A and B are shown apart, each in its own frame.
Chain A
Amino acid sequence: MELLLQTIINGILAAGIYALVASGLALAVGVVGIVNFAHGEFTMIGAFIAYLLFVSTGLDPFLSLGLAALVLFMVGAITYLGLIRPVLAAPELNQMLLTFGLSVALQNIALLVFGADTRVVSTSYQGATLALGGLSFGVPPLLAFALSVVILGALYGFLDRTRLGLAVRAVAQNRLAPGLLGIETQRVYLLAFGLSAALAGVAGVMLSVMLYASPTVGFAYTLKAFAIIVMAGLGNLRGVVPAAITLAMAEALVSTYVPGGGGWVEAVFFLVIFVTLTWRSWRAA
């Protein structure tokens, strides 16, 4: 019983970071309609900002969250204005090739500048744990989870209660109608894409604490993030959290209860997605 509880906790904690990476991507895909292959590279930039600040000034990575978010917002905005806006009307496949090219370029610039080395920061709390009646909560995943909840809460609050936020949601639900309603789609796109990159940056900072910083750090999470937002349903920003929890829980259960399950984690993750997608499509018919 205790093992089951612990497993559920492990799953929920792991879902925090998934949800954070995926929410950023969901903004880009759901609102702007851009399949952004470079999202992982935005995450990577966030991780390197935290790492470089830590190495040069000893700043705790969690304190660089704000700066990383700001820098990445700018990176996102510049990317949007310089590269995305010109191809907004282009076919989806063209947009994908564009962001793929950007992803390759950014990753390899990082490789040139920093090398392929895996770099780690050190904080006092990386291995710290909170024990609660036989259950243990790792401090960094707990922090990351709490932060994800706060940030996503703020994001949803913004989307639900502000005029601009409502505009973003309107665009997410129907990319044609808002223009008719007098909503400035261009500004909404710019904001959404910037926010998307900022969220990636925040996730990157957390990855630098929990994992490492390297040119390829964003890849694995972005791949899963794509899967999560599709499972949630494109444009359904709220569905991201339940989808992330479902998948993280499936992973945790498999690696805890199936002997040799660690090797099946990826397969189970994607199998759950495959089955959900196809089952849903047939049920809808």
Chain B
Amino acid sequence: MKKVWMVLLAVLGLAGLALAQTTVRVGVLLPISTVAGKAALNGVQLGVDQVNAGGKVKIELVVVDDGNAPATAVPALTKLMTVDRVDIVIGGLASGVTFALSGPVKQYQPLFLCIGAASSVVEQAFSDYGRFFHYHPWDYHNVAAALEFFKYLYDQGARRVAILYEDGPFGSAGIQTYRQQLERQGYTVQAEPFKSGSGNFTAILTRFKGFRPDILYWIGYDVDALPIAAQTRQVGLEPKLIYGAPPAWPTGFEKNNLSNDVAGMTAWLPSVANNESRRFVNLYRRKFGEVTDEYMAPMGYVIALSLGKALEAAGSTDKDRIAAELAKVQMETPFGPLSFKPSDTGRTRFQGFNQNIWLQFQYLEGSRRPVFPASRAARPLRFPGNY
């Protein structure tokens, strides 16, 4: 008889635990057939695994492909809100798609944890929406971080910048600001647009030859990295630094000799020396069997972890209580410390990271190494580089 009571007590105890555990369904809306979207999804799943393993709260993910297009993303969000009935959505990678989501988001009022969408057009679109948490820095942060690096390069003697920018939203967004700010720093600037993926830069680079730039600064995509590095040499441009700003770099580029001394900006590298980053890399390798270079992976991971923290603190599935706790979250992340403040323009209330997460790296001896700012540099910048 005693045994029966014991079992009963144990069962009741377990049931009690289960009841105390807060379970919440979270919608994930990402372009999962793109490299960045897939990385972001992996990161989110990794973070959710960790939160669930903690045992205090449980997150269930409902993943939907946003197709990287407004016409797919809008119905996908609607489905998350009305069919899956989630209160929390993680998503918003591409700016154009996120902008298109602003209408339905305001209509359904979810807690929206935005992973990308750097364009300040998006900031404006969500300016009157109180449940918008934007983790990624805004485009003006990106500009600020790059300009700091340019200031340093100016002190090293660089005077002329040739800018190659792709003529889509990504490359064109900050170009006027870059131009003005660089000229204010004392640089002479020439800027030329190009079509990303065309692979043909010889003509534009030949044109730049007369300008004799110290820095060749290109804003485009991974597909442009190798052609630019190769054709710069082919036309004999000989800049002192090739500095690129694509969202991702091509696989295998580090093994190519042409990548040597090429510099770039990223929010994170697997080699970043902080505990959270090391932990992330280990967990990621264990779950997916490889190391990722995509900073969207730790970004997704951070979003899931911060949400887990907020859930624990709120002890409820009410989105406003979760939001209130999320606003108070302070944590260490692979990118450095995270906390939410009103954005610099004051348009949105909860901005996570700012220009401080950006670091400048250089491809040196077959891998990317942080070279700027000095506080995070693993190596000195090789300037002038040898191209």
Contacts and interface: CB of A to CB of B under 8 A. Distances in A.
B252 A119 contact: yes
Nearest to A267: B195
A116 B35 contact: yes
B194 A263 contact: yes
Nearest to B226: A120
A111 B199 CA distance: 21
A255 B203 contact: yes
Q: Counting chain B CB atoms within 10 Å of each CB, which of A10, A13, A55, A137 scores highest?
A: A10
Interface string A157-200: 00000000000000000000000000000000000000000000
Given A116-B38, A126-B226, A210-B199, A260 B193 contact: yes
Contacts of B33: 111, 116
Contacts of A131: 236
Chain A interface category by residue count:
35 or more
A55 B252 contact: yes
> Looking at chain A's contact residues, is the secondary structure mostly helix, strand, loop, or mixed?
helix
B229 interface: yes
Contacts of A139: 234
A120 B256 contact: yes
B194 A262 contact: yes
Contact of B198 (A11, A127, A254, A265): A265
A227 to B, nearest CB: 14
B198 A220 contact: yes
Contacts of A116: 33-35, 38
Nearest to B246: A118
A211 B236 contact: no
Given A117-B35, A129-B234, A252 B250 contact: no
B320 interface: no
Contact of A262 (B192, B223, B233): B192
A262 B38 contact: no
A281 B221 CA distance: 40
A211 B192 contact: no
A239 interface: no
B202 interface: yes
Given A127-B229, A220-B197, A265-B195, A122 B258 contact: yes
What are the 10 closest A-B residue pairs judged by CB atoms, nearest first?
A138-B234, A122-B256, A127-B233, A263-B193, A255-B203, A262-B194, A118-B250, A118-B222, A211-B199, A263-B167
20 contacts: A7-B206, A10-B202, A11-B203, A55-B252, A118-B225, A120-B250, A120-B251, A120-B253, A124-B257, A127-B257, A127-B387, A129-B235, A136-B236, A138-B234, A255-B194, A257-B207, A260-B192, A263-B194, A263-B195, A265-B198
Interface of B: 33-35, 38, 164, 167, 191-195, 197-200, 202-204, 206-207, 210, 221-223, 225-227, 229-236, 248, 250-253, 255-258, 387
